[in-house]
Amino acid sequence: MLDIRIFIMIFILGKKGGIMRRIYPFILVVLLLVITIGTVISQEKQGPRITIEEPNFDFGFAPEGTFMAHEYVIKNTGDEPLEIKRVRTTCGCTSAPIKKMHLEPGEETTITIIFNSTRYFHKTSKAAIISTNDPTRPSEKITFIANMDTVKPRAITPKPRKIDLGNVNDFHRVDSVKIQNLSENDVTIQIVDYYEVFLEEPWIVGAKTPIIEGTSEGTDEPQYSAISIPVGGTATIKVSVRDDISPEEIIRASFTVSAMDKGGNELTRITVPVFGGGE
């Protein structure tokens, strides 16, 4: 409305003679420039923007009665501060602690989903709802899937199915699990996720059967290393607790392993819970 009134005023002045008639075109050009620049600035202003790199995660097969954890990265890709007002889970079996509630433009933080699989004996999906001041997406969702079905066949299985590090009196920082190939073909396993708040990067030691040695692929680099396991063979994965974690602290962590065929297609994924510490 203000712009229209200014145009009407300039139009009336332009109809009059003298100096106003001569400077009328100049005033009109300046006004148009001011309005155009203001519109461009207004259009370029984004405000806060929430971006979730990978909003969905699959734990795969996991044992009942344990905890498993996964971190989601939340980033402010806008040009104004992002305020995370609330993180609400859809189930009492799940908690979702967050590190930072205020993110400047370009900053990021993590939300950790910690799932308690007690009394779950089937495939389930849960979520957490994130409320923010993003004007375009004030409510965002992160989800996960976990399958506690012990009957359904799978390409690989861990032994043991979970790692108990003991309490403060008999605590040990390093342990291992064997991954057995139950399929009728060679499979390649790869560590696709681990909870780095408590754990160092798990690494695959080797694969073998009584006859055939497994073929290593990238095991010189512990992070996300991959190895081929022959039919009936096993691979050993070692996991260790970070040095800065005290035995008095309660540990609830996990790591996730994917099994793929020769074409790189995922056959199965499993999650091995790691717990211990405390009295």
Q: What is the pTM of this model?
A: 0.79
CATH code, domain with 228: 2.60.40.10
Q: Do residues 56 and 139 both lie within one domain?
A: yes
Q: Do residues 167 and 272 both lie within one domain?
A: yes
Residues 134 and 103: beta-carbon distance below 8 Å: no
Give the mean model confidence (pLDDT) for residues 240-253. 97
Q: Do residues 166 and 218 both lie within one domain?
A: yes
Owning domain of residue 169: 156-276
Q: Mean pLDDT score of the chain, rounded to an integer?
A: 86
Asked if pLDDT for residue 170 goes beyond 50, the answer is yes
Q: Do residues 40 and 55 both lie within one domain?
A: no
Q: Do residues 35 and 61 both lie within one domain?
A: no
For the CA atoms of 39, 43, 45, 51, the dihedral, rounded to the nearest 10 degrees, stands at 180
Residue 110 burial class via C-beta count within 10 angstroms: exposed 0-12, middle 13-18, buried 19 and up? middle
Give the mean model confidence (pLDDT) for residues 238-252. 96
Q: Do residues 166 and 268 both lie within one domain?
A: yes
Q: Do residues 174 and 252 both lie within one domain?
A: yes
How many structural domains is the chain composed of?
A: 3
Q: Do residues 22 and 54 both lie within one domain?
A: no
pLDDT band, very low/low/confident/very high, at 150 (cuts 50, 70, 90) = confident
Write out the two tokens for 47.
């405000």
Q: Do residues 164 and 268 both lie within one domain?
A: yes
